[in-house]
Amino acid sequence: MNVPIKTPDEIEKMREAGRQAALVLEMITPHVQAGVTTGELDRLCHDFIVDELGSVPAPLNYHGFPKSICTSINHVVCHGIPDAGKKLKKGDIMNLDVTVKTADGYHGDTSKMFIVGETIQGERLCRITQECLYKSIALVKPGVRLSTLARVIQQHAEANGYSVVRDFCGHGIGAGFHEDPQILHYDGYAPEADIELAEGMCFTIEPMINVGDHRTKVLRDNWTAVTKDRSLSAQWEHTLLVTADGVEVLTARSEEDLGFLEH
């Protein structure tokens, strides 16, 4: 497995890509409310990425994906396609996934959950899923194996009565949207794939956690992945850089409390 190690110049380009991706989520947050369509959210994100940031939305036309962001509502696990006819309603939970490709050709990939109105089950799922992400990020440093990150996610999810999606994973990222290595969120690594982290690696962690069974299926549009049992699913994602003594969250948003990283 050839895992790219970023040069200092590439790291600066990745920092800018991550900063831009975070800005998109910050921009769109006040627009996510009952009555808005996912198609409108897609338009707003697309225009902001192109007109304000001078970059391009990496998902658009990626292997034929038709939109600029992914909007995954309730039992949709990932890769939900924005739709001008799909309105958000009170009680919905939605993952909004953004990947920016900068003018320099580097990618920043991030997502967050939005809760529309109130939903006790949805709020708990979103909180535990974010905790899974943060617990794994806190372990990132040179010498740590990928399985260590996967185990803490699986253990925390299952301790709270949830399951971890196995059909989709995180990934290396840089000039390529998806690079090596694959980042599993459950303890399923083959020995040869369970590599040690090294300074200069960039990758995403993006756990998808279900209220019910972990199994998924892809709908006839060949993109939208849903839980087989139609239970709620949540996901949070960050792009990370392995530093000499820990981790840098390249897609950190201004409202986030990342105090858990202070060693």
Domains in the chain (CATH in brackets) are: 8-261 (3.90.230.10)
DSSP 214: S
Coil, strand, or helix at residue 90? coil
Please check if 178 is assigned to a binding site: yes
Closest CA to 203 of 165, 149, 163: 149
pLDDT band at 165 (very low <50, low <70, confident <90, very high): very high
Q: Among the residues of 29-71, which ranges form H helices?
A: 38-47
What pTM does this model have?
0.97
For 67-109, write each residue's pLDDT tens digit. Answer: 999 999 999 999 999 999 999 999 999 999 999 999 999 999 9
For 175-198, write each residue's pLDDT tens digit. Answer: 999 999 999 999 999 999 999 999
Please check if 31 is assigned to a binding site: no
Please measure the distance between the N-terminal and C-terminal CA atoms of the chain and give it in whole angstroms.
Answer: 31
Closest CA to 78 of 186, 219, 188, 249: 219
Beta-sheet strand order (sheet of 216-218): 76-78, 225-227, 216-218
Collect contacts of 73-76 with beta carbons under 8 A, ≥24 apart.
73/38, 74/122, 74/232, 74/233, 75/226, 75/227, 75/230, 75/231, 75/232, 75/233, 76/224, 76/225, 76/226, 76/233
Please check if 97 is assigned to a binding site: yes
Please check if 156 is assigned to a binding site: no
Please check if 109 is assigned to a binding site: yes
